[in-house]
Chains A and B, each alone.
Chain A
Amino acid sequence: MEPLPSPEDEDRAELEAILQTSLEFGVRVQMSGGYTARVRDSMQRVATNLGADTAETWISSGSIGLVVHRGGWSRTSIRTTPAMGVNFTELSYLSRLAKRSAGMSIEAMRAELTAVAERDRRYPVPLVLVMLGVSCGSFAAIFGADPWGIGLAMLAGTAGAATRHFLHKRHFKPFIYCLIAALVSASVVCASASATTTFDAAVTASILFLIPGVPMLNGTADLLTSNYLNGLVRLTRAAVILLGAALGLALALAFWEQL
């Protein structure tokens, strides 16, 4: 007959459950586009609200570590984060969940996290691609393009965004998919260059769906909150994306003899 678990064993098992639940929470915040301070504060808040005395974090661009302490015991775990995506609906939900986690049981928190993962409601991909094209058309208008230039930028932006989506799904690296997407977008405008009198505005705006807004802003947030290493990683990623886009644009202009 196996001995019954002692109260100490149960306490340690509960601490392990707090650790894994809080870590899962942090991974989801990171994956939905939270900057480092947000990931850290969320994990610490959830861990202490679920019953840990204190919680310490270690966050890098590719992994998250957490140490929880209670009654002289501590538990440590590290998880890799698959990718730094963007999902602000989920980020907002997690933000609200962290704030109301006081008094919540570990099981209830786990159930909420499972529900978040299953409820991944996103806009339909074709709609997002078309809207990115509309954004490019709007930027062309802001740069002073004529109606044909706006239309061309819209069409080219949609084509480029679709190319990026296609290549991203096939696990190409950011530099490659941004280069090819910019090449496609700029080529669409170059191929119809005679249709507009504002070619420069249209071709420039057509690749702006590649602006790495979230890495740039999260990188800045990391630098301003003293998370320098993660900030530099995000800003470097943004620089690589911009370089790929610029190279794609230059190649298209050279190919269509518009340089």
Chain B
Amino acid sequence: MSSLWHVVWAAPGAAGFAMLFNVRKSALPLVALIAVLALFIATYSRELGLTVIASDFLAAFVVGAIAYTIGPRLGEASPVYAFAPVIPLVPGSKLANAFIDSFNTWLTHPGDSVETVRAFTEAATTGLSAAATVAALCLGAISPMLLLPRARTAED
């Protein structure tokens, strides 16, 4: 639990993107709060033993569910509360490492040696893991929209 203090960094992280998306000033505190909650869920569920993909999906799903519940009630479109808060969960370092390792392999491992294949496989594995995490985040944030279709419209 001692490492959980860092989740508060999700607040400025999400607020910057919310301002880029031109979210209203009055909605920014709630966006920041949801982002902190999302990173807390993702981090804590990882500590409980869930995989990165499962914990990020869970966190994004909670964000989506909150956004599609409170967004229409507060007179905001649900993406206001659904989009910016999940951005701190994007596995940026994993994505960057996958690309950097790929480029590194091209530059430093010419030919078809076993070492080259191994390096490429490692880079591809990191890349696929990062891509799966991003897909889980997107599905998690959007899928609550598909629940209770009669109670909600696409305009919510």
Is the pair B23, A89 in contact by a Cβ cutoff of 8 Å? yes
B17 & A216 in contact (Cβ 8 Å cutoff): no
Once A88-B23, A128-B20 are accepted as A-B contacts, the answer to whether A142 and B100 lie under 8 Å apart by CB is no
B15 at the interface (CB under 8 A from A): yes
Give B99-130 as 1s and 0s: 1 = Cβ < 8 Å from A's Cβ atoms.
11001100100000000000000000000000
Does B57 sit at the interface, judged by CB under 8 A? no
Of the stretches A65-73, A173-181, A204-212, the one at the interface is: A204-212
Q: B66 contacts the other chain (Cβ, under 8 Å)? A: no
DSSP class of A's interface residues: helix, strand, loop or mixed?
helix
- CB atoms of A131 and B15 under 8 A apart: yes
Q: Is the CB of B92 within 8 A of A88?
A: no
Q: Which residues of the other chain, B, contact A205 by a CB distance below 8 angstroms?
A: 92-93
Is there an interface contact between A200 and B93, defined as CB atoms closer than 8 Å? yes
Per a CB cutoff under 8 Å, which of B19, B22, B82 touches A217?
Answer: B82
Residues from chain B with Cβ under 8 Å of A7 in the complex: none
A143 in contact (CB, < 8 A): yes
- Mark contacts of B15-50 with chain A using CB atoms, 8 A cut-off: 1 yes-contact digit, 0 otherwise: 111111111100000000000000100000000000
Number of interface residues, chain A, beta carbon within 8 A = 64
What is the size, in residues, of chain B's interface with A at 8 Å between Cβ atoms? 53
The contact of A142 among B10, B16, B77, by CB within 8 Å, is B10
CB < 8 Å: which of B75, B84, B95 contacts A242? B95
User: What is the CA–CA distance of A231 and B67 in the complex, to the nearest angstrom?
Assistant: 21
Q: Which of A68-84 contact B (CB under 8 A)?
A: none
Could you say which of A134, A137, A250 contacts B99, with CB atoms under 8 Å apart?
A250
Asked if B22 contacts A246 (CB within 8 A), the reply is no
Within 8 A of B (CB), among A178-225: 200-201, 203-205, 207-209, 211, 213-214, 216-217, 219-221, 224-225
A226 to B16, CA, bound (A): 31
25 contacts between A and B (CB under 8 A): A35-B154, A38-B154, A86-B20, A90-B22, A91-B77, A99-B155, A134-B15, A135-B14, A138-B16, A138-B88, A142-B9, A143-B92, A205-B92, A208-B90, A211-B87, A211-B92, A214-B21, A217-B83, A225-B154, A246-B99, A249-B96, A249-B99, A249-B100, A250-B103, A259-B103
Q: Please list the residues of chain A having a beta carbon within 8 angstroms of any beta carbon in chain B.
A: 33-35, 37-38, 40-42, 45, 86-92, 94-96, 98-99, 122-123, 127-128, 131-139, 141-144, 200-201, 203-205, 207-209, 211, 213-214, 216-217, 219-221, 224-225, 242, 246-247, 249-250, 253-254, 259
